[in-house]
Amino acid sequence: MLDIVQLRKDLPATVARLETRKQPQPYLDVAAYQALEGERKTLQTRTEELQAQRNSVSKQIGMLKGKGQHAEADAAMAQVGAIKAELEAGAARLDLIQAELQALLMAVPNLPHESVPVGGDESGNVEVRRWSPGGKGPRAFDFPVRDHVDLGAPLGLDFETGALLSGSRFSFLRGPIARLHRALAQFMLDVQTLEHGYTECYTPYIVNREALEGTGQLPKFKEDMFWVYRGKGPGDAGAGGGDDAATEQYLISTSEISLTNTVRERVLAESELPIKLTAHSPCFRSEAGSAGRDTRGMIRQHQFDKVEMVQITHPDQSYEALEQMVGHAEAILQKLELPYRVVALCTGDMGFAAAKTYDLEVWVPAQDTYREISSCSNCEAFQARRMQARFKNAQGKNELVHTLNGSGLAVGRALVAVLENHQNADGSISVPVALRPYLGGLERLAAE
């Protein structure tokens, strides 16, 4: 959530920065905000006047009684009673205004950092660097390239069973490809924990509304989530039944949600920072996705696995941490010998909570292009303000932390990239050297 003090200080500049994001949209209803803010100021000024008036009149009551002026004292007491009633009504209205301002700001995205390139969509993104094994660029094949669907089928990649069980955009893995999928996740976790200093976590896959509000998925993106009511519903009988007894819960779209919320409503010691967490989890997204190539295969699924990285940092160190986090994701791709590029997202292509984002895009030979496999973002204090996640600074005051998240990596897309980049003419897959210990020393993956 944006800092309301910043809005009050310089509304035009804040709105101008918001408008560099993807258009068209009214990110902030300026008229509604100004009406609420104007009423808030008026009420607060009136409250201060009434409090001063009450204090003055209250002092007079004792003096009037001491002088035997009981009628005047009674009139003063009645005036204090009227002031009290107006103060209570004003306080109630102020609470409503604050709630309306909160609801208004909960739907407003983060401000782009000044270093973010301005652009309306992905065409405005800026490539930062490329990497490939040996620095020679993507591999040149001397045989017809197959895509991961054709390569995966003999290895146990089964979309028909996935559709039978759950519908479109679900897959079923068995045998060699299931083993490869597991190996990739374990390999990624080991690199992030043993080499990069993250603490491995196992988190719930179902979270409450407050967790999603904290990281920014709610209220704006509810329709992108899978969600359920837990408990009694409207048709249930018995004591405590009905809608009021039901709890709204959500399947996580990323373990960023659960990892970041571990510091919600906490005041950390400065010495605890940075906190570096990682977790392997399934991720659930009901987003429709794009047509064409994304409807085939594993590129865009409703359920997929990901190894997530989260950092909770001191505000002065968050941009250094962002660069490090990008490097932590790059290390996985390099060890897997996969060509990739790093892209700085423009203002019009960034996610809701991000102040700055880098995407890592891996080379997908069958599509003859780079596809996103990791997104690393600094959210600055945007999520922390929603979660009230703070630390006690050197001056002994509570200050909001900065939160960062990144994929290290998306397991399914890594599987796609390994299959396609390391395929052989006979349909087998050469296993990258770094991955072989996780497959019992296997050098080549082939149909059983």
Q: Answer for the pair 118, 20: CB distance below 8 angstroms, yes or no.
A: yes
* Residue 49 annotated as part of some ligand binding site: no
* Residue 299 annotated as part of some ligand binding site: no
Q: Answer for the pair 270, 391: CB distance below 8 angstroms, yes or no.
A: yes
285 is catalytic: yes
* Residue 55 annotated as part of some ligand binding site: no
* Residue 405 annotated as part of some ligand binding site: yes
Catalytic-labelled residue, pool 139, 258, 413, 428: 413
- Cα–Cα distances (Å) from 75 to 57, 106, 422, 432, in that order, read 10, 47, 91, 89
Q: Which residues of 26-36 are buried (b: 16+ CB within 10 A; e: fewer)?
A: ebbeeeebeeb
Catalytic-labelled residue, pool 122, 248, 372, 399: 372
* Residue 256 annotated as part of some ligand binding site: yes
Element (H, E) at 398: strand 398-400
Catalytic-labelled residue, pool 54, 300, 385, 386: 300
Catalytic-labelled residue, pool 132, 281, 375, 428: 375
CB-based burial label for 358 (10 Å; 0-12, 13-18, 19+): buried
* Residue 330 annotated as part of some ligand binding site: no
* Residue 287 annotated as part of some ligand binding site: yes
Report the C-alpha gap between 193 and 182 in whole angstroms: 17
* Residue 448 annotated as part of some ligand binding site: no
Report the C-alpha gap between 415 and 180 in whole angstroms: 7
Catalytic-labelled residue, pool 21, 54, 139, 285: 285
413 is catalytic: yes
Neighbours of 9 (CB within 10 A): 10
444 is catalytic: no
* Residue 19 annotated as part of some ligand binding site: no
Neighbours of 110 (CB within 10 A): 25
* Residue 255 annotated as part of some ligand binding site: yes
* Residue 285 annotated as part of some ligand binding site: yes
Catalytic positions are: 285, 300, 372, 375, 413
Q: Which residues line the annotated binding site for ATP?
A: 285-287, 372-375
Q: Which residues line the annotated binding site for L-serine?
A: 254-256, 285, 308, 405, 407
Q: Which residues line the annotated binding site?
A: 254-256, 285-287, 308, 372-375, 405, 407
